[in-house]
Structure formats: structure tokens, C-alpha cells
Structure 1
Amino acid sequence: MDDPQLTVLVVDDERPVLDELVFLLGRDERIGSVRAAGSGAEALRQLEAGDIDVVFLDVAMPGLSGLDIARTLSQFKSPPGVVFVTAHDGHAVDAFELNAIDYLLKPIGEDRLRESVRRAIDDSGSPATTTESSIAVELGGVTKFVARSQVVYAEAQGDYVRLYTVGGDNHLVRVPIGTLAADWADAGFVRIHRSHLVSLGHIREVRVQGGRCSVLVETGSNDVEIQVARRHTRELRDLLHARAL
């Protein structure tokens, strides 16, 4: 059976950009239908029909911005996937908070656009279902998304957080660790120290010595031992016990 084709909506108030994206997406064999909207209000009218799989959203538009539309879509019973399109990279953290599939910087090349379509398909399984949360990270001037399931632990560095992943990579993101802890609590992440947030699923050992507790996690080929603050020890034990039941 052939793979399902996506129905996409492109939203941009600049007509030349809108026409270019519609043209390029129309050349992608994985896309069955491309629709266009020149404003946020027009986009919402089309999105309310519920048959859009992915929406390519310009961030900065008069009236309803792309971020406004994405926040509205989060209240839909079956929201489409969202890819943000912008001339600036200052909204990457907002994109992460809204569970965007991708974050494209103008001008957009066809190869990069095809990569976004691939991510949309991988993210959904079936075109209209979002399955994996991710976080936007910047590396060498390029914004990409790291799956939350790949994050082993996070370490606070001022108003930033450094994420350590199962592959041994690390990424610095502009979000306070308290915000990240609140957003990721339901995904099995627990605050074990004012500076550390750990994924319960990646804890290999819990060690208690001299009345002090620590956890052992694995990133890449190395085990990392992280101290647990006294006030977080009981909560950690309770969560690990509940997870084991």
C-alpha cells in the first residue's frame, strides 16, 4: 500500500514567500494537497475544517501571529503538526514550548524543506497525530530539534540549561531549569538538585553512601554520577518505586 500523502497549509502574509513555498511543497511527492492562506484569520478558517496534516506557519504576521495560531491549535482535539517559518531565529524557544516539528529560517532551500516534510511524517506515523515532543537547540547558527526521549539529564547554567543525550552529545538551550522541570514532569523527568533534572528512565543505579544519595546515568559510553539534594531524595525514591510497580 502506498504511504499516505500529507495535506499541508502554508501561511504567510508576504505573497512572494507564500507562492514560493506552495510551489516547492507541490513538487514533493509525499504531499497530496497544498493550500495557502495570506493571514492568520484566513488560516484559522481553513484549519477549523480539521483536514490539515501539517501547517507551515510564518511567525511574524500582522494581527494573528504564527505563535498565536499554534497556541490556538494546541486546543484542538486532533491538531495538525506545526512547522514555523521565519526570517529570525529568536523564537526557537517558543517553538519548543509549542511542540513544533521544525523551525525553518528564510530563505528556505528545497532540500531543507523536504527535510521538514520527512520530520513531519516521522513525527506523526499517520499524518495528523503528534507523537514526540522535542526541544529546539542551536548549533553553529543552525536550529534543530532534539527528541525529549533522547535527553538523559539537564544541568542549569544561569538562565540556560545544558542537555546531555544518550549519544553523548550536549546542547545549550535558553530556558530556565525550573521551566523545563515543570514542562517535562509528566514525561518522567525529576528535579534532583537545584542544578540538575534527570530522566527516570535513564537512571542506571541509585547509590547511598554516608547518608548522601546519588544517581548513575549513562550518556554515550560514559557513566555520570550526579548528587541528589537531601530535600529531593525522598521524592526520587518514591518516583522510582512507583515506576517499578
Structure 2
Amino acid sequence: MSTPPRAGMPSDAEPLPSTLRVLAVDDEAPALDELVWMLERHPAVRQVIPAASGEAALRVIHEEQLDAIFMDVQMPGLSGLDLARVLSRFTTQPPVVFVTAHERHAVDAFELNVVDYVLKPVRDERLSEAVRRVLHRLEGADPAPTASDESIVVELGGVSRLVPRADVLFVEAQGDYARLHTATESHLVRVPLTTLADSWAGAGFVRIHRSSLVALGHITEWRTEGGRTTVVVGGHELVVSRRHTRELRDLLVRRAQPLRGAP
């Protein structure tokens, strides 16, 4: 008779060895208890050590051998982001998963090479996906994201998803939020356009207007009529403000220059 899967896992999931020693960090006792309980139910998790603050977590990190850290972002004193920055200076850094109710920190989180960003309330299947990514990172199959393959967390029908930055054609400001446009859909994220403009500048995203940001590599047309300049990105015609026209034109011209010495 086969052994039934542990609670919280789909019945057709492959059996996993209980190998992970995990640190769970949250300053709110009910949330910490729930996170510990959910992690302990996962077949790949051998032990969960709870910590009620960033400072307590740092002490555990120095004293214990850990395979992964699941922690909240916003905590008094040493926040999750602060702790992740400290860990980023370690020679060997355990994979970090953020478990939070706040989507707006996603950009900062992925700049710190976290493995995953799980939004509360946490579902079993979503946490299982995060554990799977931890295992892949530890096995070397899921390397830390680079500047070119960074993703951003979006909410779709109550489900959190990762949208690769490479799929984003342009971004529009909507108040304190931003709307990401891909070839097939758009997503509203709780991140100001100015934040994305600063974070994504090195990945080829340029400001063409105070309310829009475009991926330079996805621009297919440039039009100037009657003193009005526009660009076409993914079939969308976007206005370029006079302030940004010269800079954008120079960037496009440099990208279009033929290789010198070519026959």
C-alpha cells in the first residue's frame, strides 16, 4: 500500500525527502504560527525554527545551519528587507522567500535576489511553489536572477504571479501605481512609475513622458508630425514629451548604427 501524501500537498505530487531546515520570521504571533504550521506540513521540510523579529532571526542565522528563510517584509526594528541586505553580504546566503501582505516591496525584494515573494493570505499550493523554488536554488537549477531576467509580482484574480521584466513592453503611471503592459495583457502594480524608472534604467527602460516608460528594444516605429513625436511599442502609439524627445532619438539612433567596418 502506498503512503498517502502529507497534508497540504496535491495527491499526485512526487514524494520529496524531508531535508530542509527552515527559519520562519514574522513579528505577528498568529501569522508566525500559521507560517510554521504550513511549512511543517510540507514533505520537503524537516524542521522549522520560528523567530518573532528580525533581530531574533539574525541570532538564529549566526547560531544555526539553515537551508532557507521564509520571512515577513515589514517588521519593527530590523525589517525583512534590512535582514535580506545583511544576508546579501554573506559568502554563503541561504535562499530567502518573503511572505508578506505588501506587494509594493516586490521590486526591492527581487533586486536582493530573493527566491520568491508570496502574498498573504498564503495558500498551500503557493507556498509549495516557493519551497520548490528553494529546492531548485539549492540544487543550482534555479540560479539567482540577473538584471536581465528580473520579475515583478502582480495580482490576478487573487493569485500572485511573477511577470518577467523582459515581457514588459511599456509602463504607464496611474496615480501612485503603475500599469505594466505585455504583448497580451496588462497588470496594475503598487509601485510608482518613478521607482520602476530608476530600478529598470539599466535594463533598457527609458522615460518618454512623465507618465510612461518604455522598453527601448521593443520600439518598432518613430513618428514626428506637426511637432508631435510618438513611438510605436507592441502596436501601441505612445506620445513622447518634448523634454525626452532628443534623448530618446539619440538612444534609438545609437542602437540603429551599423557595425563599423562591416562590408
Interval containing the TM-score (normalised by the shorter chain): 0.7 to 0.9
Over the matched positions of the two proteins, sequence identity in percent amounts to 50
Measure the CA separation in 2 of the matches of 1:152 and 1:19: 39
Say if 1:110 and 1:178 are closer, same or farther in 2 by CA, change over 3 A. Answer: closer
For residues 185-217 of structure 1, the C-alpha deviation after alignment (integer angstroms, 9 at most, x for no partner) is 111100001111001121122233344332111
Say if 1:155 and 1:41 are closer, same or farther in 2 by CA, change over 3 A. Answer: same
Equivalent residues of 1:216, 1:224 under 8 A apart: yes
Q: Does 1:141 align with 2:158?
A: yes
Say if 1:145 and 1:65 are closer, same or farther in 2 by CA, change over 3 A. Answer: same
Partner of 2:117: 102
Long gaps (5+) in structure 1: none
TM-score (norm 1): 0.75
Q: Give the Å deviation of 1:163.
A: 1.0
Equivalent residues of 1:207, 1:215 under 8 A apart: yes
**What SS does the aligned partner of 2:154 have?**
strand
Measure the CA separation in 2 of the matches of 1:202 and 1:123: 31
**What SS does the aligned partner of 2:78 have?**
coil
CA RMSD of superposed structures (Å): 3.4
Q: Give the Å deviation of 1:45.
A: 4.0
Measure the CA separation in 1 of the matches of 2:159 and 2:193: 23
> Residue 154 of structure 1 aligns to which amino acid in structure 2?
V
After TM superposition, the structure 1 = structure 2 runs for residues 220-235 of structure 1, keeping only pairs within 5 Å, are 223-235=235-247
After TM superposition, the structure 1 = structure 2 runs for residues 22-171 of structure 1, keeping only pairs within 5 Å, are 22-25=39-42, 27-28=43-44, 36-39=49-52, 40-47=54-61, 54-59=68-73, 61=75, 63-76=77-90, 79-86=93-100, 89=101, 91-99=102-110, 100=114, 101-106=116-121, 108-120=122-134, 126=141, 129-131=144-146, 132-166=149-183, 168-171=184-187
> Residue 226 of structure 1 aligns to which amino acid in structure 2?
L
Partner of 1:214: 230
> Residue 159 of structure 2 aligns to which amino acid in structure 1?
V
Equivalent residues of 1:216, 1:225 under 8 A apart: yes
Measure the CA separation in 1 of the matches of 2:171 and 2:250: 21
Measure the CA separation in 1 of the matches of 2:186 and 2:97: 24
Measure the CA separation in 2 of the matches of 1:243 and 1:80: 40
Partner of 1:178: 194
Say if 1:241 and 1:7 are closer, same or farther in 2 by CA, change over 3 A. Answer: farther
Equivalent residues of 1:152, 1:165 under 8 A apart: yes
Say if 1:44 and 1:199 are closer, same or farther in 2 by CA, change over 3 A. Answer: same
For residues 74-99 of structure 1, the C-alpha deviation after alignment (integer angstroms, 9 at most, x for no partner) is 4556655432224xx3x210133221
Measure the CA separation in 2 of the matches of 1:177 and 1:233: 19
Measure the CA separation in 2 of the matches of 1:48 and 1:213: 57
Say if 1:117 and 1:201 are closer, same or farther in 2 by CA, change over 3 A. Answer: farther
Long gaps (5+) in structure 2: 1-18
Say if 1:213 and 1:148 are closer, same or farther in 2 by CA, change over 3 A. Answer: same
Say if 1:44 and 1:160 are closer, same or farther in 2 by CA, change over 3 A. Answer: same
Measure the CA separation in 1 of the matches of 2:92 and 2:255: 29
For residues 105-143 of structure 1, the C-alpha deviation after alignment (integer angstroms, 9 at most, x for no partner) is 14x343221122344567895456233322232333333
Equivalent residues of 1:80, 1:129 under 8 A apart: no
**What SS does the aligned partner of 1:98 have?**
helix
Larger Rg: 2
Q: Give the Å deviation of 1:71.
A: 3.7
Equivalent residues of 1:102, 1:119 under 8 A apart: no
Equivalent residues of 1:80, 1:130 under 8 A apart: no
